[in-house]
């Protein structure tokens, strides 16, 4: 089953037939294994990696990484406050960290002001939040193991005298 997961993690569009060929198994056995992994909650979602930098859309979103210092709660540690924080729709991802900060959030908003308002009005005022550090993502070069190609900039002609 680990081999199936590795293949799907690299490319979720790989068909059970192709996986079966790679692993020298029957396609039906692969389909059954995938269904079991989905049912057991091991496979939660299939995802496309999209290079939004190449879209012509005027509408874009802003992503920020926010480090959060929190005070753990008695008997539940970080879990209850983390659950409260990741329940906000602006929070795309939430991780428990070792080191200076306790939680790492990936937050999305329509613009910088929306992310700033989230930090000021929702996150910072929570009882157990002791501090935050917000870092806005300026450009993505690689995501989920995929190198994102960018539009070529205008090539300037070198002028010499």
* Ramachandran region, residue 10 (left: φ > 0; alpha: ψ -120 to 50; beta: rest): alpha
Q: Is residue 91 part of a domain?
A: yes
- The Cα–Cα gap between 99 and 137 comes to 21
How far lies 34's CA from each of 48, 68, 161, in Å? 18, 36, 66
Same domain flag for 100 and 128:
yes
Same domain flag for 84 and 128:
yes
Q: In the predicted model, is pLDDT for residue 59 greater than 80?
A: no
CA atoms within 13 A on the CB side of 123: 29
Q: Is residue 45 part of a domain?
A: no
* Structural domains in the chain (count): 2
How many C-beta neighbours within 10 Å does residue 18 have?
A: 14
Q: What is the pTM of this model?
A: 0.78
The pLDDT tens digits for 87-138 are: 999 999 999 999 999 999 999 999 999 999 999 999 999 999 999 999 999 9
Same domain flag for 66 and 105:
yes
Q: Is residue 159 part of a domain?
A: no
pLDDT for 25: 95
- Domain, as residue range, for 127: 54-139
Q: Is residue 151 part of a domain?
A: no
Q: Is residue 146 part of a domain?
A: no
Which range among 42-51, 76-85, 129-138 shows the weakest confidence by mean pLDDT? Answer: 42-51
Mean of the pLDDT values across residues 4-22?
94
pLDDT for 96: 97
């Amino acid at each position: 089953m680990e081999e199936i997961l590795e293949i799907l993690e690299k490319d979720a569009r790989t068909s059970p037939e192709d996986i079966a060929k790679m692993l020298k198994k029957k396609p039906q056995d692969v389909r059954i294994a995938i269904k079991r992994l989905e049912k057991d909650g091991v496979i939660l979602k299939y995802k496309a990696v999209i290079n939004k930098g190449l879209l012509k859309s005027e509408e874009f979103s802003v992503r920020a990484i926010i480090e959060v210092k929190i005070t753990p709660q008695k008997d539940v540690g970080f879990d209850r406050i983390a659950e409260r924080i990741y329940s906000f729709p602006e929070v795309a991802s939430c991780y428990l960290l070792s080191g200076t900060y306790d939680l790492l959030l990936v937050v999305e908003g329509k613009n910088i002001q929306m992310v700033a308002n989230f930090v000021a009005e929702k996150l910072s005022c929570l009882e157990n939040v002791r501090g935050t550090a917000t870092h806005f993502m300026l450009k993505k070069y690689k995501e989920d193991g995929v190198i994102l190609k960018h539009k070529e900039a205008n090539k300037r002609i070198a002028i010499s005298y």
